[in-house]
Structure 1
Amino acid sequence: MSTAHQIDNLELIADPKLAKLLGFSLRSFARWDNDPNTGFPPPLKINGRNYRRRAEVDAWLKARALGSLKAGATKGRAANGDDAARP
């Protein structure tokens, strides 16, 4: 692993900036922090401010998108009656 790649994995994003980028509120982040089922990356506190590791946020977003796709595919099969033929 290159040094540049290691540095990229350590990139931190402040919660206010991340909230703006993702279109969520800081209150959503607080709720997700208190609910381990969300899988939202935990904050790193630096001088009383919350930061997140970019690599962890990217992985969370990817998992969330894949979960939505799988849920949509399941709903589509059920709506079409495709699940009736499966055991």
Structure 2
Amino acid sequence: MTRDMEKTMERIDPLELISDPKLSNLLNISLRTFARWDADPNNDFPAPVIINVRKYRRRAEIEAWLHKRALASLEPAAKPARRPPTATASQA
């Protein structure tokens, strides 16, 4: 973790909550997408904290999730396996 990132993480209150509508606006992701991600057990999107029927997310968990996605996007994609050349009539 870089020094700047450590400083940023120190300033984030791990208990600070962001409502789903506010997070939806910040990330430009629909509330319906959050619902789909919540329903998918294979998704690593942070689980909601439900207070009086409203959904909130922990800011620290959202920051970590965004950081993880940013790092994943920088990794080179796996190259597809090369198929061996097929024999042509002239090679047989």
TM (norm. structure 2) is: 0.69
Unaligned runs of 5+ in 1: none
CA distance in 2, matches of 1:28, 1:17: 14
Given candidates 16, 28, 33, the residue that maps to 1:28 is: 33
Given candidates 33, 37, 62, the residue that maps to 1:57 is: 62
Name the count of aligned residue pairs: 73
Unaligned runs of 5+ in 2: 1-9, 83-92
Over 2 Å off, 4+ runs = none
Shift of 1:37: 2.1
Shift of 1:74: 2.6
Change (3 A) 1:44 1:6: farther
Flag the structure with larger Rg: 2
Shift of 1:36: 2.5
Higher helix share: 1
CA distance in 1, matches of 2:48, 2:71: 23
| Percentage of pairs with the same residue | 59
Given candidates 33, 49, 60, the residue that maps to 1:44 is: 49
Root-mean-square deviation over aligned CA pairs:
2.2
